[in-house]
Amino acid sequence: MRTTSLLGLVLLPALIACGSAPEPSESETLGQQSSAVQDGQSDTKKAHNFAVGIMAFQYGAVCSGTLIAPNLVLTARHCVVPPEGSAAVTCDDQFPSRNISPSSLFVTTEPSLRRATKRYVAKEITTPKARGFCGNDIALITLEDNIPTSEATPVTPVVQFSMTDRTKISGQITALGYGITSPKASDSGVRRIREEIDIVCVPGDDSYAACKGAYARMLDSDKEFLTEGYVCSGDSGGGAFDQKTFDDGAPYVLGALSRGPQTEDRCLAAIYSRTDAHAEMILAAGEKAAKAGGYDRPSWLSASPDTAGDPETGTVCEGETCTATDVTEPPETFVTKTTTTGCSAAPRTTSSSSFGVLALAGIAALVVTRRRR
């Protein structure tokens, strides 16, 4: 069974990411994730403040996320449910039943985590009810306060249509995240950007010619998709922004960064959890967040009655209490497969990889203390 590594939960200053390269061969060995928006550029544009940094003080971890409403952030589930036990992850693994206490999470829109002067406290965490790792590495964080539009403009999650609709989605993305820039670098905590990253595989869309061989075998759930890479741990939870709509100034976010393969010195590809496959959970959390925030419902919430779902969909955590509620299964076109895959490990027939996870003992001290794999 193949195992791979996560792309998130990193320390300052060693936020890790996953990079890209030509299609990996079956013989490449596994390595740890260690690069962030590889070959990317520092991004300080205020217009990109929808790409946020997430800090979990309870565990000293850092992730990335996307603002999809004034008080709602899309991220990876492993950013709010710290891995337990074995360092390796496969599709047979399950997420722990409890999330991080929401009060331990802070979000900032500023491009430098170290210099951030304003942080927003989390109020609630929503995750899929299903605990299987592959296809369910996605979460939503509801904030105590709204982030004003003067500070950041939320983007649109793809929940009203499938990302297989090529009339609406291009074949490239932009990646934004707070990871490091090379395996041996210690320059985490700065938002970086890389544009025009090719989408390689989308289950249900046969137009991606490269979706074969080692690439195709990396996907184990129809609720995920694969890109060339250029991202690693520390960028976990960061969004994949459709390139055309990003260029137009009104980005669609297609998914949250989960994991991917790598060699000893390069990250190779990136696996994202799809927003369209978790549309009902996102719509339900969006409805609840809009009511709590007292703002007009975003246009992406204008769903048909049979799509909207229930505001209590998923697993919701308020304060120290987590409550599992009924969740509507994703559309039949997105069926979870029970095989394996992950981020930070190059694909091979009998591969094993570790979590690209770093624990930070005190973000203020900016000192790496230990690493979980």
Residue 25 is encoded by which pair of tokens?
Answer: 């061969």
Residue 196 is encoded by which pair of tokens?
Answer: 């025009």
Nearest to 17 by CA among 312, 325, 260: 260
Share of the chain above pLDDT 90, in %: 46
Residue 40 is encoded by which pair of tokens?
Answer: 């990317």
Model pLDDT, residue 129 = 93
Share of the chain above pLDDT 70, in %: 65
Q: Which residues pair with 239 in a beta bridge?
A: 256
Model pLDDT, residue 355 = 28
pLDDT > 80? residue 174: yes
| CB-based burial, 209-239: b 16+ in 10 Å, e otherwise | eebeebbebbbbbbbbbbbbbbbbbbbbbbb
Task: Give the Cα separation of 199 and 172 in Å (integer).
Answer: 5
Per DSSP, the three-state class of 156 is: strand
The per-residue pLDDT for range 40-54, each reduced to its tens digit, is 577 889 999 999 999
Task: Give the Cα separation of 52 and 207 in Å (integer).
Answer: 32
**Structural domain boundaries of the chain?**
5-372
Q: Give the model's confidence band at 261: pLDDT under 50 very low, under 70 low, under 90 confident, else very high.
A: confident
pTM exceeding 0.85: no
Would you call 87 exposed, middle or buried from its count of C-beta atoms within 10 A (0-12, 13-18, 19+)? middle
Q: Give the model's confidence band at 280: pLDDT under 50 very low, under 70 low, under 90 confident, else very high.
A: very high
- Cα dihedral across residues 331, 333, 338, 339: positive or negative: negative
Model pLDDT, residue 303 = 56
- Asked if residues 281 and 314 have their Cβ atoms less than 8 Å apart, the reply is yes
CATH architecture of 5-372: Beta Barrel (2.40)
Task: Give the Cα separation of 347 and 345 in Å (integer).
Answer: 6
pLDDT > 80? residue 80: yes
Q: Give the model's confidence band at 142: pLDDT under 50 very low, under 70 low, under 90 confident, else very high.
A: very high
Per DSSP, the three-state class of 277 is: helix
Model pLDDT, residue 259 = 86
